[in-house]
Amino acid sequence: MWELVFGLGFGIWCLEFQENKGMTLFPSVRMTKRINSDSRGVALVMVLWVVTILSVVVLEFCYAMRTEVNITRNYQEELQLYAAAQGSAQRAIAELILKHDPRMQQLRKTAKEGEIPPESREWVTDGREYRFPFEGAEGVVRALGEAGKVNLNRVSDAVLRKIMTALGLEGEARDIVVDSILDWRDPDDFIRVNGAENEYYQSLKEPYDCKNGNFDSVEELLLVRGITPELFYGKKIKKMEGEAGRGETVALKDLFSIYASGEQIDINSASLPALRVVLGLPLEVCRLILKARGEKGFQNIQDLLQRVPEIAPFLTEVQRLILFGVVNPYYTVEARGKSKGGSSVRGIRMVVKVDSREKDGYKIVQWLDSFL
């Protein structure tokens, strides 16, 4: 394009040169030459406009191509991160299957201390993270045993109030949440003092009926009166007396399950938030429990006391809420694919049931895509 512009400019200059030379030699034709000069001036302006328009077209084309390249690169990166998340989730499922394999369990029990390398040890399903490298990405996955949570359909009024109090709810706000949960799952239309039935839910801007039945998923809590997204997805809890640092973020979705055995929790699967909120243990004691069971799960109450003696002052109150060696085939698996720079993340979340009768040894009972 620039060669064309240069050629046109050079041609016009030659014509101007010849015109000036002719006008000097032949003054009688000055008027005719001036008219021709004006015509060539118009041509020059037209050429400049053409050049300007072509420049705009080229710039627009370059911008469009750059946008297309960025879209393609982002799509490729998203697919790569999604594949990393899926690969990490499949690794977690494989470890969960091995966790329920009697032959593998026997091999692990008979193996001497130090014979099993760290990467081959049984996974701890308390929500701790496991990381795997991928080309251009990193997979981060954690598995949470549903046995370490409280069954939302069986939890009692007293335990519900204890949990909501630990989350910072007090007085009427706490009573509204507790009574509304109980009203949602009971089969009658009787309204508790601070609860809610059809009359309340039908008065909302987008009305719906009170279920009057068991919860089918933990996410159903978001329909219950008093349950806010902050409470469900994460809320900072207050520190206990004498604790340093900031309070942790605790979410109802990490405390409740519809697949747990009851309101008692498995000490070997309970996450840090569950130990803090459900059992009401100090942060330091919770960390000692996490560290001890990372090496080996607790067998009974005596084993727990021997390896974590700091729990003794609290045992009288929490012992009735603790279970040991619960065999629950349900697990929540959360997997994320992260770019090397950490700027992009793609995640998935699923509830898996380990079942040897299934063709692949497991069954996915719930799937949530694009989980972050």
Residues 84 and 180 both lie in one domain:
no
Name the least confident of 51-60, 105-114, 282-291. Answer: 105-114
118 vs 225, which has greater pLDDT?
Answer: 225
Residues 133 and 189 both lie in one domain:
no
| Residue 348 predicted with pLDDT over 60 | yes
Q: CATH number for the domain including 174?
A: 1.10.40.60
**By residue range, what is the domain housing residue 87?**
78-147+328-369
| Residue 243 predicted with pLDDT over 70 | no
Q: For all residues of the chain together, what is the average pLDDT?
A: 84
To which H or E segment does residue 41 belong? helix 30-99
Beta carbons of 171 and 277 less than 8 angstroms apart? no
Among 70, 90, 108, residue at a domain's last position: 70
Average pLDDT (66-74) is 83
pLDDT for residue 168: 87
- Residue 340 CB partners (closer than 8 Å, separation 6+): 136, 137, 138
Residues 117 and 183 both lie in one domain:
no
353 vs 17, which has greater pLDDT?
Answer: 353
Residues 231 and 191 both lie in one domain:
yes
Residues 207 and 354 both lie in one domain:
no
- What angle, rounded to 10 degrees, do the helices at 157-166 and 171-185 form? 140
- Tokens for 28, please give them: 């009688």
Residues 230 and 359 both lie in one domain:
no
- Residue 309 CB partners (closer than 8 Å, separation 6+): none
Residues 283 and 261 both lie in one domain:
yes
Among 70, 99, 116, residue at a domain's last position: 70
Give the type of residue at 179. D
4 band by pLDDT with thresholds 50, 70 and 90: very low
5 band by pLDDT with thresholds 50, 70 and 90: very low
- Residue 81 CB partners (closer than 8 Å, separation 6+): 137, 337, 338, 339, 344, 345, 346
Residues 187 and 300 both lie in one domain:
yes
d(CA 143, CA 334): 7
Residues 301 and 345 both lie in one domain:
no
77 band by pLDDT with thresholds 50, 70 and 90: confident
pLDDT for residue 35: 53
For tokens 């080309």, what's the residue?
A: 135
pLDDT for residue 61: 85
Pairing of strands 256-257, 150-151: parallel
Residues 133 and 180 both lie in one domain:
no
Residues 206 and 235 both lie in one domain:
yes
Residues 110 and 188 both lie in one domain:
no
Among 70, 102, 121, residue at a domain's last position: 70
The torsion angles phi and psi of 137, rounded to 5 degrees, stand at: -155, 170
SS3 209: coil
Average pLDDT (115-126) is 76
136 band by pLDDT with thresholds 50, 70 and 90: confident
The number of domains in the chain is 3
